[in-house]
Amino acid sequence: MPPRRAVLLATGAFALGLAPARAHHGFGGRYDRTRPIYLEGVVRTASFRPPHPTVTIDVDASQRRPAALPSGDEFMVTLVLREEDRGRSVEVEFPPVSRFFGLGERIRVGERIAIVALRNCAAPHQLRGQWIRLADGTTVVRSGPMQTEVEGCSNS
C-alpha cells in the first residue's frame, strides 16, 4: 500500500472512531454544578462497560432530602430533589474512571442506593453521577471538578 494511502486510511479511521466518542461523551457538554440532583431508590440495571458505567434506579416516590451526605458536603447547600424523578426509573452515567468502573462487583440489581448527579445543560440532559452511596453504606465520590462543569445552564 502506498504510504500516502496508508496515512489517509489511518486518518479516516481515526476520525471515524473519534466522532462517535465525541458525540457520546459530550466533550462539549456542560454539567450544571449549581443544582446537584439527589436520587434514592432501588437498582434496576447496572452496566460497567465502556464508554461509561451506568446505573438505572427506580427512584422512591417518597424520597426526602437527606440530612447529610457522607463525603459529599460540597453538594448539600444546593442539593435538589426533582419532582419529575419521583416514582420513575432514572439512568445515571458515571465518569469513565476506575473508581466508578470498579463498582461493578459491588452494585447489584435490587439493592437500595443513593446518587448525586449533575444534569447536562444540553439535550438529552443526561445525568452524570458525582457521588454514590452503596447498599453497604460505603460512599464513592469523584475527586475534583470536571472540566465540563458550569455555574448554571443558560437557554435550557
Q: Domain limits at 70?
A: 28-150
What does the pLDDT look like over 2-47, one tens digit per residue? Answer: 554 444 344 343 333 433 333 444 445 788 889 999 999 999 999 9
Cα atoms in the 13 Å half-sphere on the side-chain side of 35: 12
> Which pTM does this prediction carry?
0.79
15-19, 104-108, 142-146: range with highest mean pLDDT: 104-108
In-domain check, residue 2: no
Mean pLDDT of 87-111: 94
What does the pLDDT look like over 43-95, one tens digit per residue? Answer: 999 999 999 999 999 999 999 999 999 988 889 999 999 999 999 999 999 98
CATH assignment of the domain containing 95: 2.40.50.140
CA 126 to chain centroid: 8
In-domain check, residue 11: no
In-domain check, residue 18: no
In-domain check, residue 156: no
In-domain check, residue 101: yes
In-domain check, residue 51: yes
Total domain count, the chain: 1
Cα atoms in the 13 Å half-sphere on the side-chain side of 125: 7
